[in-house]
Amino acid sequence: MSDAPSSPDIAERKAKVRAEVLDRRAALTAAEREAAAQTLVDQIPALDFPEKPGLVAGFWPIRDEIDIRPLMTALAETGHRLALPVIAPQTRLVFREWSPGDTLRPARFGTFEPGEEAPECDPMILLVPLVAFDREGARLGYGKGHYDGAIARLSAIGPLTTVGVAFATQEVDIVPMEPHDRHLDAVLTEAGLLRFDTEPGEPDAPSVPG
């Protein structure tokens, strides 16, 4: 995580994109949200994780984020181990192991997280929440920098796979980026999976199971 402040121009552009996309996301109906969550499960083969099975960090949805809990349950049923994020002291994002049905405790921002009894771990596959994304793999979060810091830390350990998960309506033309912001390897929505080149440029076409 970088402590460098955003330039006023980029901060203003980020705030504008964030507000517009959050309004679009909030306008989705309950039926649209439920259908999208179930569609994610159908796309597990398209994810083609490098570790089979692997340790996958998901996230507990907050506000009106897409609900990836059915996806995480399905991943567990296919043999993947799971983890959830925990905000540690100094607002550092770490991960603790979790299985569907395990007890969670209330945490900051209205989410839930495993307790200290759950082992801390370093997952090399991250399902990442986001506010907005573009077709270069740029991600806009909530502005706290938690995932930028976690991605930087885990990338120093070994090869890391980052997959943003969102509704298709959260796509924008351009996400304003700063040097410390991290690009994603892919984004999964109800419309399919977008993979991105290592160098921002031409992403693969959406992969949608037949």
Annotated binding residues, as ranges? 14-18, 65, 139-147
| SS3 state of residue 131 | coil
Closest listed residue to residue 121, CA positions, set 144, 149, 98, 145: 98
Q: Which residues are known binding-site members for ATP? A: 14-18, 139-147
- CA contacts within 13 A on the Cβ side of 168: 12
Q: Are the C-beta atoms of 51 and 124 separated by less than 8 Å?
A: yes
Q: Are the C-beta atoms of 106 and 79 separated by less than 8 Å?
A: no
Neighbours of 9 (CB within 10 A): 9
Residue that has been written with the tokens 């181990």 in this structure: 81
Q: Which residues are known binding-site members for substrate? A: 65
